[in-house]
Amino acid sequence: MREAHAHLFQLGRSLTMLDCSGCDSRQALLELVGSCNESLAKNDWVLAHSARPESWPDPHWPTRQELDHASDGRAVCVWCFDYHSMAASTAALDHAKITSDTIIGRGVIELDSDGSPTGVLYEHAALHLWSSVPEPDAAHRRAFVLSACLHLKELGYTEVHDLKAQPWLGQVVSDLHTSSQIDQRFKLYPLTKDLGETLATADQWESDHLTLAGTKIFTDGSLNSRTAWMLDPYTDTKTTGTPMMSPQEIDEAMLISKRHNLPVAAHAIGDAAVRAVLDSIERTNCTDMNARIEHAELIHPDDIQRFAQLGVIASIQPCHLLPDIETLHAGLADRLDRVLPMRALIDAGLVPGESLIFGSDVPIVRADHEDSIQAAVHRRRVNMPKSESIGIDQALTIEESLTCFNAH
């Protein structure tokens, strides 16, 4: 099978972090954070992932003060499962020099009624704090990548696409393959800003099994953070999300990649982001270059036909539907029939396994392909009644879903 949307380094690192996916409340998360106190040194960070506040009875992050108390004052960083928001302790905020006066472009620092940071950070503010966390050394990075590759191999994946490949990743994967520690095929998509650094070493690691396949951009945020860019306001916040790039910036990224004969893979979750990417592909004449739109969780009906017309690959992660159900009902209640319109994309000319492909976005969610098949075929979680399916008219068959993974 092909895993068409993964993050190898982040996956390997996540396997060493606290997994909050089983926390069904704020208190459960705080208890999990506190459970590691005895095993950590005073200055060790507590790093956690996969929190889902939207699913809790009281859907609010713990405050920094609550994290301080649970962790005995340590630096704590808890990612939301979508990696677009986080909760941080006071020590973590201080380490990143984040205060009530800090301004971070395309990022949000949540403030309480007194104007002090609550510890909740969104988009680039969360990334700003994460960039201050002590970075693993080269040996740990290699170990993380190896564990990620072996994890995906156990799940049956023989080809993996990394959709935010670090400039150093190609050489690490090449070394692991040369030493016979891994045997999958890999396609790397570094961020556009990292393309020059990646190209500088590509001739040292590219091979039949490892290629620089394109570049990656982020045009919007996520549904859970209400930062996915929508044409119409969310039903619960009355906002339209957060564009992460202007049309001009998207065009510039397209043209940079085009100069190197590489396609762009664009993170675009909301229908406004999807349209912005399609418009840019058309403006810059990047049609029929295997440009990819990643996620495409909501697509306006007027844009369905444009995928096939412009030669754009829809790289979908159906498994996101499963954790997103509460968010979809709360924020997109008036357009649930437009969520993940995969049947419409096929009817408009996309071909399963070629121009309609599946991945997971691991470690955002787990990489088990059965999750995507469950979402694509049944459009709801296991044991949910059929009446709770999201956009059941867009359901695929099991055979079509397997073909999107190139599984036979």
Interval 107-150: pLDDT, tens: 999 999 999 999 999 999 999 999 999 989 999 999 999 999 99
pLDDT at residue 390 above 70? yes
**d(C-alpha 50, C-alpha 19), whole Å:** 6
One domain, residues 273 and 356? yes
| pLDDT at res. 41 | 85
pLDDT at residue 340 above 90? yes
User: Are 311 and 333 within 8 A, CB to CB?
Assistant: no
pLDDT at residue 88 above 70? yes
The last residue of one of the domains, among 130, 156, 176, is: 130
**d(C-alpha 15, C-alpha 220), whole Å:** 27
User: Does the predicted TM-score (pTM) go above 0.75?
Assistant: yes
Query: Dihedrals φ, ψ of 318, to 5°?
Result: -55, -30
One domain, residues 98 and 150? no
63-82: average pLDDT: 95
One domain, residues 111 and 195? no
Reported confidence tier of residue 408, pLDDT bands at 50, 70, 90: very low
CATH code where residue 54 lies: 3.10.310.70
User: Are 110 and 78 within 8 A, CB to CB?
Assistant: no
User: Are 319 and 362 within 8 A, CB to CB?
Assistant: no
**d(C-alpha 194, C-alpha 216), whole Å:** 9
**d(C-alpha 145, C-alpha 319), whole Å:** 23
User: Are 377 and 394 within 8 A, CB to CB?
Assistant: no
pLDDT digits (tens, 9 = 90+) for 177-210: 999 999 999 999 999 999 999 999 999 999 999 9
One domain, residues 126 and 148? no
One domain, residues 52 and 170? no
Q: What is the pairing mode between strands 85-88 and 107-111?
A: unpaired
Reported confidence tier of residue 290, pLDDT bands at 50, 70, 90: very high
**d(C-alpha 61, C-alpha 258), whole Å:** 42
Residue type, 149: C
Q: Is the peptide bond before 134 cis (omega within 30 degrees of 0)?
A: no
Q: Looking at 61-167, which runs of residues are DSSP E strands?
A: 76-80, 85-88, 107-111, 117-123, 159-162
Which residue from 222, 218, 239, 229 is spatially nearest to 273, judged by alpha carbons? Answer: 229
One domain, residues 330 and 243? yes
**d(C-alpha 63, C-alpha 46), whole Å:** 15
| pLDDT at res. 81 | 87
Domain containing 22 equals 12-130
333-351: average pLDDT: 97
One domain, residues 96 and 224? no
**d(C-alpha 160, C-alpha 152), whole Å:** 8
User: Are 314 and 296 within 8 A, CB to CB?
Assistant: yes
**d(C-alpha 27, C-alpha 36), whole Å:** 15
User: Are 310 and 368 within 8 A, CB to CB?
Assistant: no
The total number of residues written for the chain in this structure? 408
One domain, residues 107 and 253? no
One domain, residues 150 and 57? no
- Per cent of the chain over pLDDT 90 is 95
75-101: average pLDDT: 95
Reported confidence tier of residue 343, pLDDT bands at 50, 70, 90: very high
The last residue of one of the domains, among 113, 130, 147, is: 130
Residue type, 72: D
Q: DSSP secondary-structure letter at 77?
A: E
Average pLDDT over all residues of the chain: 96
255-282: average pLDDT: 98
One domain, residues 236 and 377? yes
* Total count of domains within the chain: 2
Q: What is the pairing mode between strands 85-88 and 117-123?
A: antiparallel
| pLDDT at res. 43 | 87
One domain, residues 123 and 146? no
One domain, residues 201 and 290? yes
| pLDDT at res. 407 | 56
Please report, for residues 31, 162, 208, 293, 378, the alpha-carbon distance to residue 332 in angstroms, rounded to integers and kept in the order given: 32, 29, 44, 21, 19
The last residue of one of the domains, among 130, 164, 195, is: 130
User: Are 239 and 272 within 8 A, CB to CB?
Assistant: no
3-state secondary structure 233-244: CCCCCCCCCCCC
CATH code where residue 351 lies: 3.20.20.140
Residue 239's contacts (CB-CB under 8 Å, 6 or more residues apart) are 226, 233
**d(C-alpha 203, C-alpha 371), whole Å:** 37
| pLDDT at res. 385 | 95
258-270: average pLDDT: 98
